[in-house]
A and B are shown apart, each in its own frame.
Chain A
Amino acid sequence: MATINLSPPQITFSCRCLSSSSSSRNAPTLSFYSHFSPSHSSLSVSLKHRNNTIKHRCLITASALKNLSETELVPVPVVPEEVSGKLPSDSGVYAIFDKNDELQFIGISRNIAASLSAHLKSVPELCCSVKVGVVSDPDRAALTQAWKSWMEEHIKATGKVPPGNEPGNATWIRQPSKKKPDLRLTPGHHVQLTVPLEELIDKLVKENKVVAFIKGSRSAPLCGFSQRVIGILESEGVDYESIDVLDEEYNFGLRETLKKYSNWPTFPQIFVNGELVGGCDILTSMYEKGELAGLFKK
């Protein structure tokens, strides 16, 4: 089963009622993962749950949230791209059910639609329907409280922790190391090319929708501008090819040839539908204006 991890947490929670690892009865360590857009950082929090000491605090925001059992079960669209249209992009808590209507995971997110879209891409077989609880005034405390209240309700009703929230279960988090490998233009420097490099480049950008020529690899960019570009492409969730222009073994001569081909003197260079969109500046500007999603759909 594919597992995905979000990038390291930027916000850390301090956990109340956290004791040392003594095992008291019915004290599972619960965890949840959040999806923050656009940087996709994650929170992971462990709460020691003690049945006999949980106090229900009456927060105004929490009381606005419906109970898990009262919340409507909504089918998840089969196509991830439809999620943002059908489900809210707000902050809140969500509960995912599989095709047997079994609760698999309760999570919190700053962008529920984005989180669901990501889950749908990685574990589609587990995402059949969902309950969504939007939290108004979603500060950290309110989100955590909402999550806790749903979690407790479920545990009280079923006596179990959802499988995805079990400690050590990484089904619902994204691993950055699972990125696609970079493309190589040639089989190696020692191999004679039968076709000019320009033609290989031309073929590449025309056969692949989104192509990014970067310095370094997508998992380890070697330049700040390239890194920013990768960050944006990953955040948009678009399928793209990456080519390392510094790779002298498999992409020998690429830098000079590409500069001539695109009539563009710097890297990174991003092509969409065979056309140069620009470098980091242009991509960033389009991303901030929200123009990228439309561009990638064409």
Chain B
Amino acid sequence: MGSRGASVLLSRASRIKTKLQSTLEASIIEVEDVSHQHAGHAAVKGTQGETHFNVKIVSPKFQGQSLVKRHRMVYDALAEELQSGLHALSIIAKTPEEAAPK
């Protein structure tokens, strides 16, 4: 809930984490910046990185939702990031039951 100025100082990875945690009540959230893996990408050139992320999120809110719906929930939570240079997300979205070790 910091001021807009303060949040910009944080890395995109931590902003993603915070937003997903609060919006989706995530019990587990892992965010990894993999922009360097896509360095040759046409759209990445000329940016400061922070374009491609892997996100793993476990949340009870995914219960009963199709994969498409789950991914949309994640995208909606990160709408601002997507408009400011976030380019791609690899999403793993599970409910607590699905994520539990067998």
Q: Could you list which residues of chain A lie within 8 angstroms of chain B, going by C-beta atoms?
A: 215, 222-225, 246, 263-266, 276-282, 285-286
Contact = CB atoms under 8 A, between A and B. Distances in A.
Contact of A266 (B38, B67, B89): B89
Most buried by A among B41, B67, B82, B91: B67
B68 A278 contact: yes
A225 B88 contact: yes
A181 to B, nearest CB: 21
A265 B90 contact: no
A278 B42 contact: no
A264 B42 contact: no
B75 A265 contact: yes
A280 B72 CA distance: 14
Contacts of B19: none
Given A279-B71, A281-B71, A282-B68, A222 B88 contact: no
Nearest to A216: B42
A281 B90 CA distance: 6
Contacts, number: 39
Contacts of B90: 225, 280-281
Contacts of B67: 278, 281-282, 285-286
A264 B41 contact: no
Interface residues of B, number: 17
Given A278-B67, A281-B91, A223 B41 contact: yes
24 contacts: A215-B42, A222-B41, A223-B38, A224-B38, A225-B90, A246-B42, A263-B72, A264-B71, A264-B72, A265-B75, A265-B79, A266-B75, A266-B82, A266-B87, A279-B71, A281-B67, A281-B71, A281-B91, A281-B92, A282-B67, A282-B68, A282-B71, A285-B67, A286-B67
Given A223-B41, A246-B42, A282-B67, A264 B88 contact: no
B97 to A, nearest CB: 17
Contacts of B41: 222-223
In the complex, the 10 A-B pairs of residues with the closest C-beta atoms, listed nearest first: A265-B82, A282-B67, A278-B68, A265-B75, A266-B88, A281-B91, A281-B90, A278-B67, A222-B42, A278-B71
A286 B75 CA distance: 20
B38 A264 contact: no
Contacts of A246: 42
Nearest to A277: B68
B78 to A, nearest CB: 8
Interface in B68-90: 68, 71-72, 75, 79, 82, 87-90
Contacts of B79: 265
Given A225-B88, A264-B72, A266-B75, 17 more contacts: A215-B42, A223-B38, A224-B38, A225-B90, A263-B72, A264-B75, A265-B79, A265-B82, A266-B82, A266-B89, A276-B68, A278-B67, A278-B71, A281-B67, A281-B91, A282-B67, A282-B71
Contacts of B75: 264-266
A245 to B, nearest CB: 11
Nearest to A285: B67
A246 B67 CA distance: 26
Interface string B22-66: 000000000000000110011000000000000000000000000
Contacts of A282: 67-68, 71
A277 to B, nearest CB: 7
Nearest to B67: A282
